[in-house]
A and B are shown apart, each in its own frame.
Chain A
């Protein structure tokens, strides 16, 4: 069974630009969660999508948004990039039930200059 895939793996953007990251979950998984990982803040939850609906949201500004498609693939968008958005963005998929383990992708390394 293929694991979670994320594209692109690396991105370099400049302040003010916007970016879209993509995540394909494990086949059969309906939940996709996004996390931001930085050296200073660690792993922080952005949001979770289940069956195309945002089910849970972390404490991030509205510049961070996402969506999920009918095939469970998910995209995350960050608008008006700031230097502080430089991070590793991790996508995780799960079956979607409470307490199910999440399986993570390799991440997208975003650098904002």
Chain B
């Protein structure tokens, strides 16, 4: 079975603070793919990053960084020097090699950045 857990339901930070969004996944597949999406108030899910299970290298993209650790089945997302425009709901998702293109989403973390 595939499962994604985002234990943080809501987070509030003050602008310029760093914030980490947690994502823990469960899968029996040896090959799988992990994703992060951002859903602003407009409702459209915006793709942020994709990682496959064989690539544990961390990634940095501007103020965003991702830490993938297979040993703890986690794929955490850090925003450095947060901005008001980062306020959104963030979803972590999992796709297994044996489940087609079905994405299993976590319940999302609502991030509010206070100016």
Contact B102–A56 (Cβ < 8 Å): yes
Known: A99-B33, A101-B35, A101-B50. Contact between A56 and B91, CB under 8 A?
Answer: no
Shortest distance in angstroms between A14's beta carbon and chain B's nearest beta carbon?
Answer: 23
- A39 and B60 CA atoms in complex are apart in Å by 31
Interface size in chain A (residues, C-beta < 8 A): 27
- A43 and B91 CA atoms in complex are apart in Å by 9
Chain A's interface: helix, strand, loop or mixed, by majority?
strand
What residues on B are CB-neighbors of A48 within 8 Å?
100-102
- A55 and B103 CA atoms in complex are apart in Å by 13
Task: Name the residue of chain A whose CB is nearest to the CB of B107.
Answer: A42
Shortest distance in angstroms between B53's beta carbon and chain A's nearest beta carbon?
Answer: 9
Interface membership of chain A positions 74-113, coded 1 if the CB is closer than 8 angstroms to chain B and 0 otherwise = 0000000000000010101010101111111111010000
Task: Name the residue of chain B whose CB is nearest to the CB of A96.
Answer: B101
Residues in A lying within 8 Å of B, measured CB to CB: 31, 33, 35, 42-43, 45, 48, 50, 55-56, 58, 88, 90, 92, 94, 96, 98-107, 109
